[in-house]
Chain A
Amino acid sequence: MLNAVFQLVTPRQFEVTFHQLELDEEHVLIRPTFLSICQADQRYYQGKRSEEVLKKKLPMALIHEGIGKVIYDPTGNYKVGEKVIMIPNEPFKKDEVVAENYLRSSKFRGSTMDGFMQEYVQTRPDRLVRIPAELNNDHTAAFTEMVSVCYHAISRFDRTAHRRRETIGVWGDGNMGYFTSLLLKTRFPDSRVIIFGRTGEKMADFSFLDDAVFTNAVPEDLYVDHAFECVGGSGAGPVINQIIDHINPEGTISILGVSEEPVPVNTRMVLEEGLRIIGTSRSGRADFEGLMELYHEKPETVGYLEKMISAVVKINGVSDMNNAFDMDIHKFTGKTIMEWN
């Protein structure tokens, strides 16, 4: 079958092309319904990746956050019309030690294979997750992948960090910082969770947290047991070094922010204080399932996610795709959702 794929061919230019899909017995066909734009998509769209990377990866369909409806399932796992979350990580091997999202053999939608900006997405049934009743807002469900990345980071932190978790700091008042803070407070309600950011208006949204601190006015005697870095870009270096200055010995620093350039880190203090630095990236099926379980147990979490929808743009053609991405660049905070027609 001929499938329309909307690829970014050069920065800011989408074009339609057609790929053949073979209707086999192993793959499910999904009609995307709501897609969510991520900073990683924006780096391609705005041409912020290196020329070498752009040359290697484009043309490529963007977007790795989204939901859709089952159109055809010869595997018998899903009913036609059922709403599902699509998992963008596509593992091809199993490993007893390394998680699916860290295997070099895995592919990832919108990075090493076409993303969800397609007429139909063909995928294996284990790359789909049913949307639970608690997650009853399609716009919120669309950015589940990003929340699952935060869930994954917290799970890794939970396995790695020492048991004293009286105070946990989250650096970064953007979307990643918001979701990480929310899940941290949900999973560790007895911990004091503090947001460290630059914009008062954004930090005011973190109403579920215990404290908010401006990064340019951190009290000298304020220390956290563990920290999450959710800034990335050129801000990652200063923030990681600020964390090192304000973390207790043997604390764990979890890094979530993506930087294009190498970041200089004060390793002398990392050594002196015996700090652990763990990197986390993407997520796998277990994280999506764990997150759905968390929504079931703490349904109030979903309400906090809904308020992060910045805009919903109907997509009827290529010009609407440009509008959605341009609108997303100029947003104050939150997520831009594309209603995929």
Chain B
Amino acid sequence: MSKVYGVILAGGIGTRMGNVEKPKQFLDLGGKPVIIHTIEKFVIHPGFDAVLVLVPQAWVSYTRDIVRRQIPLKDKITVLPGGNTRNETIMNSIRYIEEQGDLDDHTIIVTHDSVRPFVTHRILDENIKYAGMYGACDTVVPATDTIVRSDDHDQITEIPDRKIMYQGQTPQSFRAKRLKELYDGLTESEKNILTDACKIMVLKGEHVHLVRGEVYNIKITYPYDLTVAQALLGMKTEEMQKC
């Protein structure tokens, strides 16, 4: 039976968060690091055989420590070093799966930003289902703002019809072996341009199915996002200030 892996991507160092000491995935949200909330969502989902957590090399030991201390089903979790880019981090996870002897045509990886802790059971369910059915899927929400395209960053080139525009979230899920084949076939310059794994699939003519996300499946990128996340948790203003 082919396996389903949750792949939590925390390769970035979080430099966009301003003057914080830790990468954003390790910031506290309601008494726990953001990444722990995200791992918990994956680890209790029965659809995953294993969960891989990829973090910067310097944070591997730290992540193993907090996982050991804070998550009960830790045997299901493996912490690995990420790569230099998002796609290299994904490839590290696939290499690990291959080393375990688990990579076959139907092995599925559900890749997810470690800083999206509000992902739901339904979104994970549908990612596993549609990646198995179509080979790849991407989680999106309908665009609420009008999208403006500007090729020269000075004037409007185009305003696409908002009705057919979506905002990408994660998870993005794939048949791991097929994704690896396509990625390995890219030139170095293509690899530099194609920073999104779903984009690789689309450009190579693969079907990428849409999974409905949720507006609250937010990515904690900026300090403002952390405030929104705390508000979603129902924290009062004075509690937020203590964090």
Contact = CB atoms under 8 A, between A and B. Distances in A.
B124 to A, nearest CB: 11
A1 B34 CA distance: 10
A76 B216 CA distance: 33
B120 A71 contact: no
A17 B44 contact: no
A64 interface: no
A18 B118 contact: yes
A25 B232 CA distance: 27
Given A71-B46, A72-B44, A4 B233 contact: no
Q: How large is the interface on A (under 10, 10 to 19, 20 to 34, 35 or more residues)?
A: 20 to 34
Contact of A74 (B45, B72, B117, B121): B72
Contacts of A18: 118, 216, 232-234
Contacts of B112: none
B103 interface: no
Given A1-B37, A2-B37, A341-B122, A23 B30 contact: no
A2 B44 contact: no
Interface string A1-39: 110100000000000111110011100010100000000
Nearest to B40: A1
Interface string B204-235: 00000000100010000000000000001110
Contacts of A286: none
A120 B40 contact: no
A341 B212 CA distance: 12
Contacts of B72: 23-25, 74
Interface string B16-46: 0000000000000011100001001100111
B12 to A, nearest CB: 21
B41 A1 contact: yes
Contacts of A1: 37, 40-41, 44
A29 B44 contact: yes
Nearest to A5: B234
B232 A17 contact: yes
B121 A19 contact: no
B60 interface: no
A20 B120 contact: no
Interface in B56-86: 71-73
Given A72-B44, A80-B46, A4 B212 contact: no
Contact of A120 (B30, B32, B71, B121): B121
B1 to A, nearest CB: 15
Interface in A29-56: 29, 31
Contacts of A234: none
Contacts of B232: 16-18
B87 to A, nearest CB: 28
A112 interface: no
A250 interface: no
Given A1-B37, A18-B233, A81-B46, 12 more contacts: A2-B37, A4-B216, A17-B232, A18-B232, A19-B234, A20-B31, A20-B32, A23-B72, A71-B45, A71-B121, A74-B72, A119-B120
Interface of B: 30-32, 37, 40-41, 44-46, 71-73, 117-118, 120-122, 212, 216, 232-234
Interface of A: 1-2, 4, 16-20, 23-25, 29, 31, 71-72, 74, 80-81, 119-120, 316, 341
26 contacts: A1-B41, A2-B41, A2-B118, A4-B120, A16-B216, A17-B232, A17-B234, A18-B118, A18-B216, A19-B234, A20-B30, A20-B31, A20-B32, A20-B233, A23-B72, A25-B72, A31-B121, A71-B45, A71-B46, A71-B121, A72-B44, A72-B73, A74-B72, A119-B121, A120-B121, A316-B122
